[in-house]
Amino acid sequence: MKSLVVYYSLTGKTRLVSQVIAEALNATLLEIEERRPIPMPFVYLSGSFAAFMNRGSKINPVDVDLKQYERIFIGSPIWASRPAPAINSFIYKTNFEGRSIIPFFTMGGNNAEKALENITAKIEKSQGKVVGSFAITSYRVPDEEIIARAKEAIKEYSS
């Protein structure tokens, strides 16, 4: 099954998990980048507000033919119990018809339930079908532990 891993990462934690998934599943890796990143002192306040309001952000163009992928992993940090605005923009601009989607999150807390409900509704509105998900607490966790958690989380998708 051909897979794509799409992600947005501010601190590098979601990027790390995405790289583990791509390597383990021999998947294509696609980073969503904001056209003009929010300056660091303001990113959590303005980014969290935008996420809470389900807004997107201006992202660089994404050049990928989704028709060649059966399964798409979508990775985001959780901000204000929701996906990051850059991921919202990607989802809003994408038709996932016929694709199996696995959202995954990195987070400071330990509850991804609201973020999963939120992203699932957006994916379904874009014609995708959520077939699984996982979340990894990454705040103050060493990279080696994040890698181990990511490898464990994707075992069920390796077949």
pLDDT tens, position by position, 46-96:
788 888 888 999 999 998 999 999 999 999 999 999 999 999 999 999 999
Which of 38 and 95 is assigned the larger pLDDT?
A: 95
What are 56's two structure tokens?
A: 């997107």
- Pick the closest to residue 51 from 27, 75, 81, 24 (CA basis): 81
> What is the pLDDT, as a whole number, of residue 158?
85
What are 7's two structure tokens?
A: 């992600």
Domains of the chain: 3-157 (3.40.50.360)
> What is the pLDDT, as a whole number, of residue 124?
97
Residue 151: exposure state from Cβ atoms within 10 A (0-12, 13-18, ≥19): middle
pLDDT, mean over the chain: 93
- How confident is the model over 105-129, as pLDDT tens digits? 999 988 899 999 999 999 999 999 9
Q: What is the mean pLDDT of residues 37-50?
A: 74
Residue type for position 159: S
Q: What are phi and psi of 56, to 5 degrees?
A: -100, 180
Do residues 130 and 124 touch, judged by C-beta distance below 8 A? Answer: yes
pLDDT at 4 over 90: yes
Task: State how far the Cα of 79 lies from the Cα of 21, in Å rounded to an integer.
Answer: 22
**pLDDT level of residue 159 (50, 70, 90 thresholds):** low
Q: Name residues whose C-beta falls within 8 Å of residue 142's C-beta, 6 or more positions apart in sequence.
A: none
Which of 52 and 38 is assigned the larger pLDDT?
A: 52
